[in-house]
Amino acid sequence: MATSVAEAAARALPNFRTGAKQIFLPNHVITFIRPKPKQPPNLATFVVPLTFNKLDLRDYLFHAYNVEVLAVRSFINERAPVRDGDRGKWYRPRSQKMMIVELEKAFVWPEPPAEDAREDFDYNTFRRNLQTREARDAEFTRRRKGEIALRTEAKVPQQRKTLRKQAAAILNSEEGWSNRSGVKEDDGAWKEVEEEMKVPRGKQ
């Protein structure tokens, strides 16, 4: 890898210089974000710490992954104000710094797996948790605005739909409902379930 980095530096422009920072036990978190549908494959988006500059990201990709970068653009996203609880103070979360780099060699993200292939990764549980979290956030936003959720607008759970069908089937049946349905009457005689077996004693 050191040879490839040296060759890449030799092919670069005469004024190409890399940083000389020596960082021991780094705690920086750099996130590679999946591109948008219409984003070209030669552009890569990263979420970097607020203390990072363009040269830091360029040197990081160059030395760690041997990825050559032609240009770097950086911008800061301001977060929307949020409230601490229902009646807490409003505050603005910490801003997020992002960088878009132009790669010399294009990188194409792999296609996400199909729905049936995600069952091995417990994707259904993740999807249910995500839907529950989104519904909770939507309800919290509605309460914060002072809106009252109507009963007719609420989504009927699947369990209530199933219970409603069972109740309709019982009401429409001629026999009606009984707590002894499906239970056969017996004569009350005791029946031996298992035969008596003699267990041999161990030798003394």
Q: Any idea where the domains of the chain sit in the sequence?
A: 2-103, 116-172
3-class SS of residue 187? coil
Q: Tokens 């026999």 map to which residue?
A: 175
150-177 confidence digits (pLDDT tens): 777 777 878 888 888 888 888 887 766 6
Rounded to an integer, the average pLDDT of 90-104 is 93
**pLDDT value, residue 2:** 46
Is 142 a residue whose pLDDT tops 60?
A: yes
**DSSP for 23-49?**
-SS-----EEEPPPTT--TTEEEEEE-
Is 85 a residue whose pLDDT tops 80?
A: no
**pLDDT value, residue 71:** 93
pTM: 0.55
* Pairing verdict, β 43-48 and 96-103: antiparallel
Superfamily name and number for 2-103:
RRM (RNA recognition motif) domain (3.30.70.330)
